[in-house]
Amino acid sequence: MSSDPASGPPVRRLPSTGLLDARHRPLRDLRISVTDRCNFRCVYCMPKEIFGRDYRFLEHDQLLSFPEIVRVARIAVGLGVRKLRLTGGEPLLRKGIEELIAELAELRTPEGAPLDLALTTNGSALPVKAEALRRAGLQRVTVSVDSLIESRFQAINDVRFPLSRVFDGIAAAEAAGLGPIKVNAVIKRGVNDDEILILAEHFKGTGRTLRFIEYMDVGSSNGWALDDVVPSAEIVRRIDEAHPLDPLPASHPGETAKRWRYRDGSGEIGVISSVTGAFCGSCTRARISAEGKLYTCLFATSGTDLRALLREGTDDTLIAETLAGVWRGRDDHYSELRARGAQADAGPRIEMSYIGG
């Protein structure tokens, strides 16, 4: 293993347009889960009846170490990755996360450009962490806010965490320069779909971009049913009826959210149509789970064990070849299969808490 994981030995690099999967999709985004733990028990992700007091989370030595994460990230950058997103669980629960961010912020593309470095959080620790995260080199954060009704927000996170403290975290992130802030809201019919317009109006004109996410069938613990999904087309229609919207082009290739601009110029919203509008054809994302497995789809049933390679002393070139081989063989298009009513999987899928959103 290299003694300097941020720089390390040179990695044999494929041309930036040369690494394509079986559906001709390049590798551009790497999402890294740094922990499987979370201080919330959101009913659509880590329901308390499964992730209760007796649930056995990964031991610390089962997680990838920071040098291991940086090493994998550096190798992935050599293969075309240009964006890193840290996830969880709740990534701010990982002790010393600022140290990891500082090392990742030092990475450069083969052309010498810095990476896009972001983090998704429930916002609970941002009031005390935001400034240190920005100093370490983090560029942006995305925060989850699924309801503006205090009692409902606490019911969704299921640990009675107050909404006001999440908004304190958003304000702290903005003050630290971790913006523009994106706010994610998972919409589930019969739970919070009556707040679609309320949420839109709350964030309209604030400079914070609200993104509505269709309730997804990630993992096997959230009791997902298609009837619980509110289609993004319905979300856009409801908002457009009150505040006219115009479509916007994608801000970059492979963007998951479809963007809509308020016609009065007061900002935009996004909708992520993981169920009703499959975007598999433009997906450029790979994910590394909390215990170091590489997954090529959010709905995957199996992954490639990178932790074993790292800890067996495998050199960087072989790890790069392994990553490239996995990506070249990637044929994932689960959401497209589901939309056609086809059999899309062959077993339990990996849980959101291991690979983030």
Task: Write out pLDDT tens, residues 207-262.
Answer: 999 999 998 766 555 556 788 999 999 999 999 999 999 999 987 776 788 999 99
Is the Cα dihedral 157, 87, 113, 26 positive or negative? negative
Task: Write out pLDDT tens, residues 72-113.
Answer: 999 999 999 999 999 999 999 999 999 999 999 999 999 999
Which residues are paired to 114 by β-bridges? 108
% of the chain exceeding 90 in pLDDT: 73
Strands 258-262 and 182-187, by their bridges, are unpaired
% of the chain exceeding 70 in pLDDT: 85
- Per-residue confidence (pLDDT) for residue 256, from 0 to 100: 80
- Per-residue confidence (pLDDT) for residue 251, from 0 to 100: 78
pLDDT at 145 over 80: yes
Higher pLDDT, 292 or 282: 292
- Per-residue confidence (pLDDT) for residue 301, from 0 to 100: 79
- Per-residue confidence (pLDDT) for residue 252, from 0 to 100: 75
User: Exposure string (b/e) for 192-217, b if CB count within 10 Å is 16 or more?
Assistant: bbebbeebbeebbeeebbbbbbbbbb
- Per-residue confidence (pLDDT) for residue 17, from 0 to 100: 47
pLDDT band at 170 (very low <50, low <70, confident <90, very high): very high
Give 110's contacts (C-beta < 8 A, 6+ positions apart): 13, 16, 77, 78
Q: How far apart are CA 245 and CA 258, in angstroms?
A: 12
Higher pLDDT, 24 or 5: 24
* Strand residues in the chain grouped as ranges (E): 29-33, 83-87, 116-121, 140-144, 182-187, 209-214, 245-248, 258-262, 268-272, 285-288, 293-295, 304-305
Higher pLDDT, 268 or 278: 268
Please answer whether residues 186 and 40 qualify as being in contact, where contact means their C-beta atoms are separated by less than 8 angstroms. no
Higher pLDDT, 40 or 347: 40
pLDDT at 139 over 70: yes
270 SS3 class = strand
- Per-residue confidence (pLDDT) for residue 5, from 0 to 100: 39
- Per-residue confidence (pLDDT) for residue 10, from 0 to 100: 47
pLDDT at 286 over 80: yes
pLDDT at 1 over 70: no
- Per-residue confidence (pLDDT) for residue 346, from 0 to 100: 53
Over its C-alpha atoms, the chain yields an Rg (Å, rounded) of: 20
